[in-house]
Amino acid sequence: MPAPLALLLTTIFVVFLFWRDVRERPPVTGALWIPLLWMLILGSRGVSEWLGWGGTYNTTDGLAEGSLVDAAVYFSFQLAALFVLLRRRLSWATALSHNPWIVIFLAYCALAIFWSDFPFVALKRWIKVLAHPLMVLVVATEPDPREAVVRLLKRSAYVLVPFSILLIKYYPALGRRFSQWTGEAYNSCVTSNKNILGCLCLVLGFFFVWHFLTSLRREKTRERRNELLLCGAFLWMIGWLLSMADSATSVMALAVGISTVLFLGLRFVDKRHVTAYLVAALLAFGSAELIFGVSGTLIRALGRDSTLTGRTEIWDIVLAVDINPILGAGFESFWLGDRAERIWAKYWFHPNQAHNGYLETYLNLGWLGLTLMVCWILSAFLRVGSTLLSDFDFGRFRMGLLAIVVVYNYTEGGFKGLSLIWFAFYIIAMDYPQARRPIEGESSASRPWLATPLAMHRRDA
């Protein structure tokens, strides 16, 4: 069909999905639009890139300067989220006390600005990262935080998935690009490269698998049938997009996340012994790796070579760079200045990350920062494990997504900047369980987008 007609039909389909969503009258407020728009940007491209106003990132100066348009947009989102939280009278003491490892890690990142060779750039990037916890707090202070997470992910998919398919099929000039490595064309869809597309499919695909399994447990009604059909349709679309992305990392991480959800759903699994299961799984994998070399088999099965498409070579090169091993190069400062130029001299495609989230954290924050990151992950694991006892369905969603985050960062640098996978980690790792009172004199009916919940649900505490 003609491209304009396809665009019209896709737009009508997306509008219908949002109409259907609003018609269900979910227990969320209009303020959810703020983290939704934030996630739409994380899952696609920056505003400047969509408008064609983006700068060049092929030079170290371009990386350091960034885009003024994007900076203004990101800061506006932060102000909007902060305004909502102030109107809701968020207890900052409660938010900080319930998320100590996040506070410690971000505080250490702030300290790491002082020993960066580019402190102003590091400061700008640190301020930008603060948007993640602010957006999550907006979601956490909705009348029903769990439902807010569901609506956030569903509404993101309503926009990103259909328009991704549209761009591939009818607007290839926008939906396809050429590889800097081989010159071959690849699919980027609404994102800026195939790795981000794979990450988008990973997060949304996992969500719809979990949502499908959760919907199956409901009473048989017309609403349940419609929800299952919706999940099936989006899983088909996301599966097709994932095949177009050809992202082995996302496929592997998705398999791990789904396996985690299915395993926790088995009847013989005791939810109180999740830590023991994790230790057993790590010991089993370690033994299999030592005896049979299963990692090599998995890599070959995914159609990749032993260097993980050149990633191991980059790891060796960046580890040879002289930095302070305890403190690192400074918050998100490793890929700047002379260090980046020396590495770029060896790679004409100019890498700007180590393609390993843990290594990336070490390069920027040293062993101290990496230790804090690991403590944060372990803290999230223990917290999510306790959620399995109070809200099993949402608990296994958080556990599966946590497993995805851990696996994904082995070959992609997800613990940095405005990464979608890092935002997803904040969603599952942060809590704000305290009950709250409505703002005096404020009516939910008159100002629904600022509506304050009467009491926070404690299901994910």
Cβ–Cβ < 8 Å for 205, 242? yes
pLDDT in tens, 35-54: 999 999 999 888 888 887 76
pLDDT in tens, 102-136: 999 999 999 999 999 999 999 999 999 999 999 99
Predicted pLDDT of residue 228: 94
Give 298's pLDDT tier (boundaries 50, 70, 90): low
pLDDT at residue 443 greater than cutoff 80: no
Neighbour count for residue 331 (Cβ, 10 Å): 28
Q: Mean pLDDT across the chain, nearest whole number?
A: 84
Question: What is the rounded distance in angstroms from the CA atom of residue 58 to the CA atom of residue 350?
Answer: 7
What are the extents of the domains in the chain?
3-437
Q: How long, in residues, is the chain? A: 461
CA–CA–CA angle 51, 172, 207 (5° rounding)? 80
pLDDT at residue 80 greater than cutoff 70: yes
What's the token pair of residue 344? 């770029």
Contacts of 209 (CB under 8 A, 6+ apart): 231, 235, 258, 261
Predicted pLDDT of residue 122: 93
Residue type, 41: I
pLDDT in tens, 320-356: 888 999 999 999 999 888 888 888 777 766 777 888 8
Cβ–Cβ < 8 Å for 274, 399? yes
Predicted pLDDT of residue 102: 95
Render 131-192 in DSSP notation, one character per residue: HHHHHHHHHHTSSSHHHHHHHHHHHHHHHHHHHHHHHHHH-HHHHEEE-TTT--EEE-TTSS
Question: What is the rounded distance in angstroms from the CA atom of residue 261 to the CA atom of residue 189?
Answer: 29
Neighbour count for residue 341 (Cβ, 10 Å): 12
* DSSP 8-state secondary structure symbol assigned to residue 416: S
Question: What is the rounded distance in angstroms from the CA atom of residue 181 to the CA atom of residue 395?
Answer: 41
Question: What is the rounded distance in angstroms from the CA atom of residue 10 to the CA atom of residue 361?
Answer: 40
pLDDT at residue 213 greater than cutoff 80: yes
Query: What's the pTM value of the predicted model, to 2 decimals?
Result: 0.88
Give 166's pLDDT tier (boundaries 50, 70, 90): very high
Contacts of 197 (CB under 8 A, 6+ apart): 164, 187, 188, 189, 190, 191, 241, 244, 245, 247
Burial letters for 269-282: b for 16+ Cβ neighbours within 10 Å, e otherwise? Answer: eebeebeebeeeee
Predicted pLDDT of residue 305: 59
pLDDT at residue 141 greater than cutoff 90: yes
Contacts of 142 (CB under 8 A, 6+ apart): 27, 28, 29, 31, 32, 148, 453
Percent of the chain residues past pLDDT 70, beyond the cut: 83
Side-chain half-sphere CA neighbours of 350 within 13 A: 12
More confident residue, 141 or 289: 141
Predicted pLDDT of residue 245: 85
Question: Phi/psi of residue 328, each to 5°?
Answer: 80, -170
pLDDT in tens, 168-193: 888 888 877 766 555 566 777 888 88
* Parallel, antiparallel or unpaired: strands 176-178 and 185-187: antiparallel
Cβ–Cβ < 8 Å for 327, 109? no
pLDDT in tens, 410-424: 888 888 888 999 999
Exposed / middle / buried, residue 71 (Cβ in 10 Å: 0-12, 13-18, 19+): middle
Question: What is the rounded distance in angstroms from the CA atom of residue 460 to the CA atom of residue 389?
Answer: 10
Cβ–Cβ < 8 Å for 246, 193? no
